[in-house]
Amino acid sequence: MSETSPSRPGHPGPGADPGSTGPGESAERGVPGRRAALVTGAASGIGRAVAERLEREGMDVLAVDLRPDPAGPGVAHEADLTDPDANAGAVAAALERFGRLDVVVPNAGVQHVSPVDEFPLERWDAILALLLRSPFLLAKHSWEALRQSDRARFIVIASVHGLVASPFKAAYVSAKHGVLGLVKTLALEGAAHGITATAVCPAYVRTPLVEKQIGDQARAHGLPPERVLEDVILAPHAIKELIEPAEVAGVVAFLASPAGRAFTGAPVTMDYGWTAR
């Protein structure tokens, strides 16, 4: 539980890595003293940037994704995190592979833009399963390993939509508000064990998740697609720019460092002034 104590026992891995996409491991992986991270949604956008950055910081990274990229950063692990067993499996795979877990970054996400009266129940259920239940399950299954880390970090990529709402995003906004409640609870439970829990809350980031919603936003707002960026996406930003994935990864790296220790139970908002209004 000490942030300064260098000693920590290894953690025996409970199972195999069914989703690993193959060898590709370096001799460095799993070496004693090297910190290990699990990042979800690591094949694209923010998760990919986080996996790259944590690797650069010297960590072993299990890069979990529905469609993992064997050429991407980290050890690729395939998992559909809307399936509860796949969350347990991802944690087991990290422990099997690295023998420890110090940093968990629940990041995988999807969006659905639709007025509430047309919002499909199955999209609501899938979004809640991925954005809220998966972080809970990752915490549940990694908790014991995190307790054994001398610097344990649970860093959820939430959203400014965990703090404020936008129309036509009922499931996403509800799940992101919910995950902030989870982070606060984990911060209180983790305090005695040296585990911090933090929610990173970015405004719009330049990723496929944003690009994919342009058409739906145009339909929902009754706008031509070419107006969506300016009239919808950038409208709440005081600074009319998109955040870059590497900027979010930089915040995660800071939170994972010793300097991030006090940022527990809190949203870390990076929103170009959105919530200043």
| Smallest gap from residue 257 Cβ to ligand NAD (A) | 21
Distance CA 179, CA 157 (A): 9
Binders of ligand NAD in range 214-273 (CB under 6 A): none
Residue whose CB is less far from ligand NAD, 152 or 155: 155
- 21-29, 54-62, 199-207, 220-228 -> range binding ligand NAD (CB under 6 A): 199-207
Binders of ligand NAD in range 75-104 (CB under 6 A): 79-82
| Smallest gap from residue 110 Cβ to ligand NAD (A) | 5
Write out the DSSP string of 193-237. Answer: GTEEEEEEEES-BSSHHHHHTHHHHHHHHT--HHHHIIIIISTT-
Residue whose CB is less far from ligand NAD, 41 or 74: 41
Residue whose CB is less far from ligand NAD, 11 or 64: 64
Comparing C-alpha atoms, which of 43, 69, 149, 71 is closest to residue 104? 149
Phi (first) and psi of residue 202, to 5 degrees: -85, 155
Q: 172 an active-site residue?
A: yes
Binders of ligand NAD in range 111-130 (CB under 6 A): 130
Q: Quick one: which of 21, 29, 34, 66 contacts ligand NAD (CB under 6 A)?
A: 66
| Smallest gap from residue 52 Cβ to ligand NAD (A) | 13
> In sequence order, what are the residues at sequence separation of 6 or more whose Cβ sits closer than 8 angstroms to the Cβ of residue 38?
61, 62, 64, 90, 91, 94, 101, 103, 104, 105, 138, 142
Tokens of 244: 């870059």
Tokens of 22: 């193959």
Distance CA 197, CA 156 (A): 8
| Smallest gap from residue 259 Cβ to ligand NAD (A) | 23
Q: Quick one: which of 61, 105, 108, 195 contacts ligand NAD (CB under 6 A)?
A: 108
Q: Quick one: which of 124, 143, 168, 204 contacts ligand NAD (CB under 6 A)?
A: 204
Comparing C-alpha atoms, which of 85, 84, 86 is closest to residue 65? 86
| Smallest gap from residue 27 Cβ to ligand NAD (A) | 28
What does the angle CA 129 – CA 118 – CA 213 come to, to the nearest 5 degrees?
A: 65
Tokens of 196: 């911090």
Residue whose CB is less far from ligand NAD, 3 or 125: 125
Distance CA 26, CA 94 (A): 15
Active-site residue (options: 98, 154, 168, 172): 172
By the rule CB under 6 A, 152 interacts with ligand NAD: no
Annotate each residue in 17-56 with x if it binds ligand NAD (CB under 6 A) or - if it does not, as one string: -----------------------xx-xxxxx---------
Locate tokens 């299990």: which residue?
Answer: 62
Catalytic residue numbers, as ranges: 172
- The contact set with ligand NAD (CB under 6 A) reads 40-41, 43-47, 65-67, 79-82, 107-110, 130, 157, 159, 202, 204-205, 207-210
